[in-house]
């Protein structure tokens, strides 16, 4: 009997008291809470890093394309800048505001290939650069879902395709009225990207989730601080080739008849990019300057 009592006491000494259990559970809860915090922080860091990578990839694609396009800019041809503002909410729940939607039309040299027929090539083309039509005119599309378009029209006499103009560059230079009518039509009503209705329009897709797109130009004129002055909507440059801004609209054009010293020496692009998951709600804004040379 005494041995049984002694054994029972011996076994009880190796059990857990209520206080010990509470302390152990508390420590375990703290460990789980800490692990959850670390896990959540890691997930957030991953989301931010992925969003930043996505935006930087878009930035690289845009700047590379701009550099390539304007490397072959034809200063004996046409360069038309159309600037306007659109009142729209930046994202769901945001208060509507004015956002720039600038676009360009110009002629450039390069190695261009038809989307419809790879055998059709040209060393010169007309290029549209700016937002696509739906982004600007569909009021249900938020600014952080806008898309940039890059529409190329090859110049190839005698060839008939949707992305080919069957006239020569010389004919374009000799017929400004024809060119400017086509240009104004495209700048006022930009081409749409609607893959559902027409899969071929995917060729125009330049960049998704590209919001405000602002274009300014410089001809070397200094501003009040002796720095280079940039002209555009909000700061017009008065000469015979530039239209004065009217109700949030601004147009500047350079044609084969424009003196070479009146052509821009540089173009400045300021644009806001968003990630597709909405991590950066207000996006990130970048500036890229393209020097047009002599």
Write out pLDDT tens, residues 64-84. Answer: 999 999 999 998 899 999 999
pLDDT of 2 reads 53
Six-digit token pair at 6? 């002694």
Domain boundaries, the chain: 14-291
For the chain, what percent of residues have pLDDT higher than 70? 89
Tell me the average pLDDT across 260-283: 92
Specify the pTM: 0.82
Write out pLDDT tens, residues 86-122. Answer: 999 999 999 999 999 999 999 999 999 999 998 999 9
Find residue 150's DSSP bridge partners.
Answer: 129
Q: Whose CA is closest to 204, among 192, 219, 214?
A: 192
Instruction: With cut-offs at 50, 70 and 90, classify the pLDDT of residue 39.
Output: low
Tell me the average pLDDT across 167-194: 88
Render the burial of 158-179: b for 16+ CB within 10 Å, e for the rest. Answer: ebeeebbbebebeebbeeeeeb
203 within 8 A of 252, measured Cβ to Cβ? no
Instruction: With cut-offs at 50, 70 and 90, classify the pLDDT of residue 14.
Output: low
Q: Which of 89-98, 163-172, 242-251 has the lowest mean pLDDT?
A: 242-251
For the chain, how many residues are written?
294
Rounded CA separation 112/253 (Å)? 24
pLDDT of 16 reads 65
Measuring CA to CA, how many Å separate 261 from each of 75, 79, 218, 242? 10, 14, 12, 14
Rounded CA separation 214/182 (Å)? 22
- Residue whose entry in the numeric block shows the structure tokens 């890691």: 42
Six-digit token pair at 241? 């080739």
Six-digit token pair at 198? 């027409």
Instruction: With cut-offs at 50, 70 and 90, classify the pLDDT of residue 235.
Output: confident
Max avg pLDDT among 5-19, 32-46, 237-251:
32-46
What DSSP state is assigned to residue 230?
Answer: -
Beta carbons within 8 Å of 24's beta carbon, 6+ residues apart: 16
Q: Whose CA is closest to 264, among 126, 97, 81?
A: 81
Residue 40 pLDDT greater than 90, yes or no: no
Residue 135 pLDDT greater than 90, yes or no: yes
CA max distance for the chain: 122
Q: Which of 15-19, 31-35, 90-94, 278-282 has the lowest mean pLDDT?
A: 15-19
Cα atoms found within 13 Å of the Cα of residue 210, Cβ hemisphere only: 26
Residue 13 pLDDT greater than 60, yes or no: no
The residue with greater pLDDT, 244 or 162, is 162
- Across all residues in the chain, what is the average pLDDT? 86
151 within 8 A of 115, measured Cβ to Cβ? no
Instruction: With cut-offs at 50, 70 and 90, classify the pLDDT of residue 240.
Output: very low
Rounded CA separation 263/253 (Å)? 9
pLDDT of 245 reads 46
Beta carbons within 8 Å of 243's beta carbon, 6+ residues apart: 250, 251, 252, 253
Instruction: With cut-offs at 50, 70 and 90, classify the pLDDT of residue 4.
Output: low
Pairing of strands 147-155, 205-208: antiparallel
């Amino acid at each position: 009997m005494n041995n049984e009592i002694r054994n029972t006491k011996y076994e009880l000494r190796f059990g857990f008291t209520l206080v010990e259990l509470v302390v152990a559970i508390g420590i375990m809860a703290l460990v789980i809470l800490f692990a959850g915090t670390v896990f959540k922080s890691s997930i957030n860091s991953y989301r931010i890093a992925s969003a930043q990578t996505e935006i930087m990839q878009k930035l690289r694609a845009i700047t590379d394309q701009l550099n390539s396009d304007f490397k072959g800019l034809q200063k004996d041809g046409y360069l038309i800048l159309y600037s306007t503002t659109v009142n729209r909410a930046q994202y769901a729940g945001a208060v509507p505001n004015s956002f720039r939607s600038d676009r360009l039309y110009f002629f450039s040299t390069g190695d261009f290939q038809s989307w419809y027929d790879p055998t059709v090539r040209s060393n010169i083309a007309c290029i549209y650069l700016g937002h696509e039509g739906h982004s600007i005119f569909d009021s249900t599309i938020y600014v952080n879902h806008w898309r940039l378009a890059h529409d190329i029209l090859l110049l190839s006499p005698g060839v008939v395709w949707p992305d080919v103009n069957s006239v020569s560059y010389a004919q374009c230079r000799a017929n400004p009225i024809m060119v400017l009518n086509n240009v104004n039509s495209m700048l006022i009503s930009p081409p749409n990207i609607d893959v559902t209705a027409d899969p071929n329009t995917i060729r125009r897709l330049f960049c998704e989730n590209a919001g405000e797109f602002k274009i300014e130009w410089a001809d070397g004129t200094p501003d009040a601080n002796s720095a280079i002055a940039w002209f555009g909507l909000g700061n017009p440059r008065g000469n015979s080739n530039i239209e004065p801004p009217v109700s949030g609209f601004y147009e500047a054009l350079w044609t084969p008849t424009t003196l070479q010293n009146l052509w821009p020496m540089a173009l400045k692009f300021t644009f806001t990019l968003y990630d597709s998951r909405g991590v950066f709600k207000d996006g990130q804004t970048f500036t890229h300057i393209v020097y047009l040379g002599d």
